Amino acid sequence: MISFYEINSETFKYMNQFLDLMTIQKFEGDKKLELITIDISRFEELKKLHLAYKLEIEEEIPKNSDYESLFNAIETGKIQFFGVLNNDLLVAICSICITYSTFNYKCSGIFEDFYIMPEFRHKKIARQLVEFAYHESGVCSLGVGAADCDVKMYKALGFFIELGNYLMFTE
């Protein structure tokens, strides 16, 4: 079962009040992590992490035509990617597709493609990446479809309003 969770601007009012999302964060010695908006200039790096994400969640491996479509979607603003750089190497990604929601009658986003390289997990960058993406995307609420095994993680990241089941229709 997949559940749909929503996060809104009120959530972030109380989360990490002292976090400056635009500042380079320092973790583990000399490794510097930087939160960024990913544009097409980093598309090849993005593809590598996106492929690792697809393999980890056991989804079909994207074809070249899928990546061409993704490139065009990024270029035309249909999807926004955000990431974390470690010494200029992309180590984490997520995406937001912007839409409009009658949940709060404002712009809303769908949160997807959340992946952190295994060696960078449990280093407190996940919440920072989610918050950065939320603020940079300009949405007023953010939803995520969560597999049962991921619900606890997404709740820990601030997605706490349960809105039932999230289902997809496709041909």
The per-residue pLDDT for range 118-155, each reduced to its tens digit, is: 999 999 899 999 999 999 999 999 999 988 889 999 99
Strand partners, 129: none
Please check the confidence at residue 36 and state whether its pLDDT lies above 90.
yes
Mean predicted confidence (pLDDT) in 96-121? 94
Greatest mean pLDDT range, 26-35, 91-100, 160-169:
91-100
Predicted confidence at residue 72, as pLDDT, reads: 97
Domain boundaries of the chain, sorted by first residue: 2-165
Predicted confidence at residue 7, as pLDDT, reads: 52
Q: 21-45 as b/e, with b when 16 or more CB fall inside 10 Å?
A: eeeebeeeeeeebebeebeeebbeb
Q: How far apart are CA 109 and CA 132, in angstroms?
A: 13
Task: Give domain 2-165's CATH number out of 3.40.630.30, 3.40.50.1000, 3.40.710.10, 1.10.10.10.
Answer: 3.40.630.30
Q: How far apart are CA 96 and CA 137, in angstroms?
A: 7
Mean predicted confidence (pLDDT) in 28-42? 82
Please check the confidence at residue 17 and state whether its pLDDT lies above 90.
no
CA-wise closest residue to 148 among 39, 38, 2, 22: 2
Contact between residue 71 and residue 43 where contact means Cβ atoms under 8 Å apart: yes
